[in-house]
Amino acid sequence: MVIVFRSQYAPDVPLEWQPRSCAIVCLRMAFDSLNVQALPIKNLIEEGVAINGYDEKAGWRHDALVALAHNHGVPAYREEFKSMTVDSTTKVISEGPHAKSMEVYGLKKITAEIKRGAIVCASVTAGFGSNKDSHIIVLAEVLANGLYYYDPSGKTAEEGAHQFTTTEYFLSHWKKLAIFVG
């Protein structure tokens, strides 16, 4: 699958939304890559806000991004690959005993979905082009030693398209959340 790169800093992204439009831009990359006619990014942002898809503190909600895809006739779903333990007394949440196996399963699922032709949008922490706590990238290919991704925070295709990172680096920044589109 050829991924069509788009930047969240492109002129067609409203200036006030550029720092916080990575998720919508990734969704638009998915639409473009799947040859789906889509609204301009400005309109996708407006539609996403209208369905309460954006929260000032948390950013873009994954379920709203899935709803946006469905609103435009594109199958999509989100999945979490987490395992947590909750101490009911202290209310402290920590990584659960199955965290590693869920991470391995998640990476296998991402690999299989990419091979099937789906576009995979993954939530990551700071370190993938953005200094924000939360960011979304499009995964293009998973290899034994790493993966290729498209980062909407790149201002040009040279900065954002077909970037390589090691599997270890990706896993250390992956929030164990993905949206499968198409």
Q: Which two tokens stand for residue 114?
A: 């990419």
pLDDT at 156: 96
- Looking at the DSSP bridge assignments, the partners of residue 86 are 93
pLDDT reading at 129 higher than 80 = no
pLDDT reading at 3 higher than 80 = yes
Q: What's the pTM?
A: 0.93
Ramachandran category for residue 61: left, alpha or beta (phi over 0 → left; psi -120 to 50 → alpha): beta
Q: How confident is the model at residue 87 (pLDDT cuts 50, 70, 90)?
A: confident
Reported as a single tens digit per residue, the pLDDT across 132-144 is 678 999 999 999 9
- Count CA atoms within 13 Å of residue 53 on its CB side: 21
pLDDT reading at 131 higher than 80 = no
* Cα end-to-end span (Å), the chain: 12
Separation of alpha carbons 65 and 26, rounded Å: 10
pLDDT at 151: 96
pLDDT reading at 36 higher than 90 = yes
Q: DSSP label at 136?
A: E
Contact 178, 81 (CB under 8 A): yes
Reported as a single tens digit per residue, the pLDDT across 157-181 is 999 999 999 999 999 999 999 999 9
Q: Which two tokens stand for residue 173?
A: 């920044």
